[in-house]
């Protein structure tokens, strides 16, 4: 029998507000343990939360970017449970009146467009971090992350393959980065997801029993966890047994998931309205104010690149998938570079260097204008294309203006004809066999001779001029 | 008369005229505490040295001509659930027996700015849960009128200290009557302001939607002075209202002509001791003779206020008190196997019986499957009770009721039966449920010589009318001058 996977996601994104959700502490990542906290975020007796309005701004923005309705009269609720990383023993979250609901995101998988429903987006606070056993005597707690604002984005069970879920996550990440509400750095834990997954025979309407998978910390891990879980459930169903409704924990190192002990998951969170906070009342003006700050979103940008710059759809999709990359692209184009040539450089050398060095677009150490300058150097004949590739590498290493690199490293192309004639003469003298081959009709030999000239000039000779010169001299 | 016997406003005048110094006054209070507190047992912490240094500094500033507040140089004390930077704030619980907050409550900041002299921290029912101060982990505060009787609670010591002249004024907190009931039992003036008037920042939470800090004073004028000092919007408390707060001393006018008083018959029925009923009726007659009108009316749903109150307050408490887990501060059990064991032992050993009872009650009321039947229903009752008060205030300027069904009861008399103890709050809880201000003033003694308090209930943010009514009553009677024989 053929099975279909049904996937819904709960994505937590840390918001990039400067301060925490209920106090003035910084949200900066990586501070000394317990230095980014105060009596409020560590839940001392008698302290009170005051909602950071920016958090609501960001949630509204995320809602608008994912086509959600914005709740006019929202509230916050307490989710009660005991754990040492949660100093108040309750998390302030939203239960039945989240800031946003009923939205969607359009994704594209293998050329097929698909709409994924967003059930809700709510705001809540992050917890601290437990450090176990480092000293062998117990656990220590770092409260720096306590009270860092999060949005939780809950999808409808609309995805049918791990691939769809992955594309959804990538698209969502790209949207959140575009609207500048989260940096979505998975390695710093600012984007995390829980996976709800069930399987059913293809064609069957009712969903199977679902499990919830926690502790998924990268897109790659998400795909692996989903593939593993789908396979596990299908095996259970095939063997005639029932899938247990349970919470499972993904172990990415071992590549397996295991059921969490009942104690860990059997929570009655006893939600009730947070009495220390007032309702979140969002009027039309507020929503419109935020709408004005929305940038062009990735899908719209992609369509525009295709129309305005005649980029191939694939290239446009890649470049617009990252807000930084798209910005970089636009900086190049605004500095006068030809969009198609820029796009080719992006798709080729730029992407390769990023991939080889495991860099994110945010980590490109120079501004977009430098690429435009580099391309102008090629166009003016100052350097050759192959030298330009080398210059680009140096730009990544030294973050310098390509014009300066070319000057400093003496990479300016030799376009002086008399100089080139001297070089060509020497190469012709040194390679009689190739000259003979060429004269005997072997066109390829010309390429070899050009190559020898380039080698002699360390690649600086103007290849077009050389080509013409050599032909002229050999045909004499 | 000794300095410790005087009111804050009388002392203010003496201080301003330089007839006395704050240090003399503070010494007088500290001596009084030394003399009477071994019997009364109001104080958990007395700050002899700090208070004297503080008074000296205020004296210096005053003689340098600095303009300070009305309460500058006045010795006062705080209920031990109000956070004081670097000073023990125990909530009279083993759980916080060693807790020194690294911050001041907003009211403490305000009183410091005013120039008051903090002499100490006062006993209470553990985490403000109780009506007798019998639930303190540390000691039993006595009623200054009869040392065998309770001072009321939970701000029992805040009332007893004022009645025994061990502080010129104090602050308490009121979640269901915790300022007003002890004020009535100890024959002092006690005000629970409208919810949102006084910042709750730094008040260790019992029930967030009901808690409110308020003054306990020797007369109505002092009440207005303290209100002036502690009310106001606080950006640190989201439930604090950002409105223009009046000068409450402007309300101290001896005139109730044309004042319409409503007396809900549900508060004057069988359950109320006849002597108290009689005393309140007598007070109403006095107000009538001064030009006010009063009539009985029916305030529906009164019988549901008590159960709604106990559900809501316990539910919120179960969550508010969850943070006392032995991890971060306060009490931690000695031996434990694992995390769950640490939680269980710490909380079993650190909390007293009544606190545990309320945590269990509240946890149950919020549990899935029971939420709708209990917590949600109680919130609906709350809305209806608010509405019934709104209706009443369309006809009346003030509602007057007894404060308690009985005068101060004997220590141990009700502590065995929680339901009987809860019933003692019948007259006071509706105001917290509805967020309304309530002012309690003395209106006589019963045949045992125990104080009786009358409760004045006002519209939200209309503390002024309560003050005017009470001030007029005070100006034309002598009840507020009655003092215990110590
Ligand atoms: Zn903080």
pLDDT of A135 > 70? The answer is: no
Q: How confident is the model over B32-42, as a mean pLDDT? A: 98
Q: What's the rounded Cα separation, in Å, for the pair B460 and A275?
A: 19
For residues A303 and A425, membership in a common domain is answered with: no
A451: enclosing H helix or E strand: helix A444-456
Write the DSSP symbol of residue B301. Answer: T
For residues A246 and A306, membership in a common domain is answered with: no
Taking each helix axis from N to C end, the angle separating B8-16 and B220-230, rounded to the nearest 10 degrees, works out to: 70
Domain holding A460: CATH number?
1.10.10.410
Provide the shortest C-alpha distance from residue A131 to chain B (in Å): 14
Catalytically annotated residue among B79, B121, B142, B218: B79
Domain boundaries defined on chain B: 3-257
Residue of chain A whose Cα is closest to the Cα of B203: A46
Please judge whether A268 and B368 are an interchain contact, meaning their C-beta atoms are less than 8 angstroms apart: yes
Q: Which tokens go with A173?
A: 């990440």
For residues A173 and A322, membership in a common domain is answered with: no
Say if residue B329 is preceded by a cis peptide, omega within 30 of 0: no
Examine the fold and report which residue of A289, A322, A339 is the final residue of a domain before the chain moves on: A289
User: Any residues with CB less than 8 A from the CB of A440 and at least 6 apart, and which?
Assistant: none
* B376 catalytically annotated: no
Provide the shortest C-alpha distance from residue B482 to chain A (in Å): 36
Q: Which tokens go with A176?
A: 């959140």
Chain B residues in contact with A261 by the CB 8 A cut-off are none
Provide the shortest C-alpha distance from residue B317 to chain A (in Å): 11
pLDDT of A472 > 90? The answer is: no
For residues A362 and A380, membership in a common domain is answered with: yes
In the block, tokens 């897109």 appear at: A219
Q: How confident is the model over B294-309, as a mean pLDDT? A: 94
Chain B residues in contact with A89 by the CB 8 A cut-off are 319, 322-323, 325
In the block, tokens 């593993």 appear at: A228
Q: What's the rounded Cα separation, in Å, for the pair A33 and A49?
A: 22
User: Any residues with CB less than 8 A from the CB of A420 and at least 6 apart, and which?
Assistant: A414, A453, A461, A462, A465, A466, A469
Check if A140 contacts B (Cβ < 8 Å): no
Percent of chain A whose predicted confidence (pLDDT) is above 90: 63
pLDDT of A265 > 60? The answer is: no
- How many Å separate Cα B465 from the centre of its chain? 19
Band of residue A263 on the pLDDT scale cut at 50, 70, 90: low
Q: How confident is the model over A1-24, as a mean pLDDT? A: 95
Query: Residue B431: which of B232, B210, B278, B221 has the closest Cα?
Result: B210
Confirm if B347 and B325 have CB atoms less than 8 A apart. Answer: yes
Residue A185's pLDDT is what? 80
For residues A89 and A64, membership in a common domain is answered with: yes
Mean pLDDT of chain B: 97
For residues A162 and A81, membership in a common domain is answered with: yes
Residue A260's pLDDT is what? 83
For residues A268 and A389, membership in a common domain is answered with: no
Examine the fold and report which residue of A264, A289, A314 is the final residue of a domain before the chain moves on: A289
Provide the shortest C-alpha distance from residue B20 to chain A (in Å): 37
Check if B5 contacts A (Cβ < 8 Å): no
pLDDT of B33 > 60? The answer is: yes
Quick: pLDDT tens for B377-397: 999 999 999 999 999 999 999
The domain total for chain A is 3
User: For residue A353, which phi and psi values (nearest 5 degrees)?
Assistant: -65, -40
Which stretch of A72-76, A138-142, B36-40 has the lowest confidence by average pLDDT? A138-142
**What one-character-per-residue DSSP string does A170-196 give?**
HHHHHHHHHTTS----GGGTSEEEEEE
Is the four-CA dihedral B374, B379, B384, B385 of positive or negative sign?
A: positive
Interface of B with A in 232-251 (CB under 8 A): 235-239
pLDDT of A267 > 80? The answer is: no
Please judge whether B83 and A51 are an interchain contact, meaning their C-beta atoms are less than 8 angstroms apart: no
Interface of B with A in 310-329 (CB under 8 A): 315-316, 318-319, 322-323, 325, 327-329
pLDDT of B226 > 80? The answer is: yes
Residue A473's pLDDT is what? 86
pLDDT of B223 > 60? The answer is: yes
Taking each helix axis from N to C end, the angle separating A313-321 and A162-178, rounded to the nearest 10 degrees, works out to: 60
Chain B residues in contact with A43 by the CB 8 A cut-off are 323, 328
Q: Which of A48, A89, A277 sits opposite B201 (nearest CB)?
A: A48
* B154 catalytically annotated: yes
Q: How confident is the model over B82-109, as a mean pLDDT? A: 98
Band of residue A262 on the pLDDT scale cut at 50, 70, 90: low
Q: Find the domain containing A13 and state its range.
A: 3-289
* B319 catalytically annotated: no
For residues A381 and A444, membership in a common domain is answered with: no
pLDDT of B115 > 90? The answer is: yes
A445: enclosing H helix or E strand: helix A444-456
Quick: pLDDT tens for A206-248: 999 999 998 788 888 999 999 999 999 999 999 999 999 999 9
Band of residue B201 on the pLDDT scale cut at 50, 70, 90: very high
Distance A52 CA to ligand 1 centre (A): 12
For residues A377 and A267, membership in a common domain is answered with: no
Catalytically annotated residue among B42, B178, B199, B388: B178
Q: ipTM for the complex?
A: 0.96
**What one-character-per-residue DSSP string does A270-294 give?**
--EE-TTS--EE--HHHHHHHHHT-
Confirm if A107 and A113 have CB atoms less than 8 A apart. Answer: yes
Q: How confident is the model over B63-76, as a mean pLDDT? A: 95
Check if B339 contacts A (Cβ < 8 Å): yes
- Interface size, chain A vs chain B, as Cβ–Cβ contacts under 8 Å: 99
Domain B3-257: which CATH class?
alpha beta
pLDDT of A127 > 90? The answer is: yes
Write the DSSP symbol of residue B338. Answer: S
Examine the fold and report which residue of A243, A267, A289 is the final residue of a domain before the chain moves on: A289
Q: What's the rounded Cα separation, in Å, for the pair A211 and A247?
A: 6
Provide the shortest C-alpha distance from residue B209 to chain A (in Å): 5
pLDDT of A136 > 80? The answer is: no
Distance B309 CA to ligand 1 centre (A): 32
Chain B residues in contact with A46 by the CB 8 A cut-off are 81-83, 89, 101, 105, 201-205
pLDDT of B154 > 90? The answer is: yes
Chain A residues in contact with B83 by the CB 8 A cut-off are 45-46
pLDDT of A133 > 90? The answer is: no
Residue of chain B whose Cα is closest to the Cα of A86: B323
Q: How confident is the model over B144-156, as a mean pLDDT? A: 98
Which stretch of A107-111, B17-21, B406-410 has the lowest confidence by average pLDDT? A107-111
In the block, tokens 């007893």 appear at: B160
């Amino acid at each position: 029998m053929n099975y279909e996977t049904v996937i819904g996601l709960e994505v937590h994104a840390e918001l990039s507000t400067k301060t925490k959700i209920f106090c003035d502490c910084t949200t900066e990542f990586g501070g000394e343990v317990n230095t980014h906290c105060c009596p409020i975020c560590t839940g001392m007796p008698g302290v009170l939360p005051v909602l950071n309005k920016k958090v609501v701004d960001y949630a509204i923005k995320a809602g608008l970017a994912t086509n959600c309705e914005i709740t006019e009269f929202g509230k916050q609720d307490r989710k009660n449970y005991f754990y040492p990383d949660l100093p108040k023993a309750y998390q302030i979250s939203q239960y039945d009146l989240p800031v946003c609901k009923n939205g969607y995101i359009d994704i594209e998988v293998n050329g097929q467009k698909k709409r994924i429903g967003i059930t809700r987006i709510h705001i809540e606070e992050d917890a601290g971090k437990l450090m176990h056993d480092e000293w062998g005597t117990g656990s220590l707690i770092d409260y720096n992350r306590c009270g860092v604002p999060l949005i939780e984005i809950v999808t409808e069970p609309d995805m049918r393959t791990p691939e769809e879920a992955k594309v959804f996550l990538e698209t969502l990440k790209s949207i959140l980065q575009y609207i500048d509400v989260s940096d979505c750095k998975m390695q710093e834990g600012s984007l995390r997801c829980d996976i709800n997954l069930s399987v059913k025979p293809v064609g069957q309407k009712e969903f199977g029993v679902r499990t919830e998978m926690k502790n998924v910390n990268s897109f790659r891990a998400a795909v692996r966890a989903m593939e593993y879980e789908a396979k596990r459930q299908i095996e259970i169903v095939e063997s005639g047994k029932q899938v247990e409704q349970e919470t499972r924990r993904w172990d990415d190192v071992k590549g397996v998931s295991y059921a969490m002990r009942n104690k860990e998951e059997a929570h009655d969170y006893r939600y009730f309205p947070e009495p220390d906070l007032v309702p979140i009342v969002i009027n039309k003006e507020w929503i419109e104010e935020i709408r004005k700050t929305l940038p062009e979103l990735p899908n719209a940008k992609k369509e525009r690149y295709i129309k305005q710059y005649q980029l191939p759809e694939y290239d446009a999709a890649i470049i617009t998938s990252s807000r930084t990359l798209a910005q970089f692209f636009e900086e190049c184009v605004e500095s006068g570079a030809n969009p198609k040539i820029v796009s080719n450089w992006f798709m080729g050398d730029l992407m390769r260097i990023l991939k080889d060095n495991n860099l994110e677009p945010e980590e490109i150490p120079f501004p977009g204008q430098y690429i435009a300058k580099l391309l102008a150097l090629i166009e003016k004949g100052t350097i050759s294309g192959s030298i330009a590739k080398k210059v680009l590498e140096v730009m990544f290493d030294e973050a310098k203006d390509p014009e300066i690199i070319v000057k400093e490293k003496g990479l300016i192309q030799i376009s002086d004809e008399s100089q080139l004639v001297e070089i060509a003469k020497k190469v012709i003298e040194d390679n009689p066999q190739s000259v003979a081959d060429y004269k005997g009709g072997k066109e390829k030999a010309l390429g070899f001779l050009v190559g020898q000239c380039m080698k002699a000039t360390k690649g600086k000779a103007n290849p077009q001029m050389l080509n013409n010169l050599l032909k002229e001299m050999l045909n004499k | 008369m000794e300095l410790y016997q005087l009111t804050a406003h009388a002392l203010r005048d003496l201080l301003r005229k330089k007839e006395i110094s704050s240090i003399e006054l503070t010494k007088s209070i500290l001596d009084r505490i030394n003399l009477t507190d071994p019997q009364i047992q109001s104080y958990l912490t007395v700050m002899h040295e700090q208070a004297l240094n503080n008074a000296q500094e205020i004296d210096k500033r005053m003689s340098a001509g600095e303009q300070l507040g009305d309460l500058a140089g006045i010795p006062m004390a705080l209920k031990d659930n109000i956070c004081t930077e670097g000073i023990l704030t125990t909530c009279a619980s083993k759980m916080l027996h060693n807790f020194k907050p690294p911050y001041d409550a907003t009211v403490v900041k305000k009183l410091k700015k005013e120039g008051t002299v903090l002499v100490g921290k006062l006993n209470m029912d553990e985490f403000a849960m109780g009506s007798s101060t019998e639930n303190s982990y540390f000691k039993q505060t006595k009623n200054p009128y009869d040392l065998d009787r309770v001072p009321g609670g939970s701000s029992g010591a805040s009332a007893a200290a004022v009645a025994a002249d061990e502080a010129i004024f104090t602050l308490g907190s009121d979640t269901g009557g915790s300022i007003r009931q002890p004020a009535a039992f100890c024959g002092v003036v006690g005000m629970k302001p409208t919810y949102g008037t006084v910042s709750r920042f730094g008040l260790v939470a019992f029930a967030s939607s009901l808690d409110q800090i308020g003054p306990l004073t020797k007369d109505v004028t002092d009440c207005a002075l303290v209100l002036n000092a502690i009310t106001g919007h606080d950006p640190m408390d989201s439930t604090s209202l950002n409105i223009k707060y009046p000068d409450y001393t402007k309300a101290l006018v001896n005139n109730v002509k044309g004042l319409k008083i409503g007396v809900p018959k549900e508060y004057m029925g069988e359950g109320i001791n006849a002597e108290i009923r009689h005393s309140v009726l007598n007070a109403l007659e006095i107000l009538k003779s001064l030009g006010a009108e009063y009539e009985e009316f029916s305030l529906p749903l009164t019988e549901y206020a008590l159960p709604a109150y106990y559900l809501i307050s316990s539910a919120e408490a179960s969550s508010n008190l969850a943070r006392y887990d032995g991890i971060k501060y306060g009490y931690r059990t000695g031996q434990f196997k694992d995390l769950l064991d640490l939680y269980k032992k710490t909380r079993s050993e650190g909390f007293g019986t009544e606190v545990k009872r309320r945590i269990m009650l509240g946890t149950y009321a919020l549990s899935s499957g029971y939420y709708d039947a209990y917590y949600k229903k109680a919130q609906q009752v709350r809305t209806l009770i608010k509405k019934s008060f709104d209706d009443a205030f369309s006809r009346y300027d003030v509602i007057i009721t007894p404060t308690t069904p009985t005068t101060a009861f004997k220590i141990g008399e009700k502590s065995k039966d929680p339901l009987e103890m809860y019933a003692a709050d019948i007259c006071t809880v509706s105001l917290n449920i509805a967020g309304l201000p309530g002012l309690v003033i003395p209106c006589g003694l019963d045949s045992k010589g125990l104080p009786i308090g009358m409760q004045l209930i006002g519209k939200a943010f209309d503390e002024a009318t309560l003050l005017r009514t009470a001030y007029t009553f005070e100006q034309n009677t002598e009840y507020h001058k009655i003092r215990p024989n110590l």
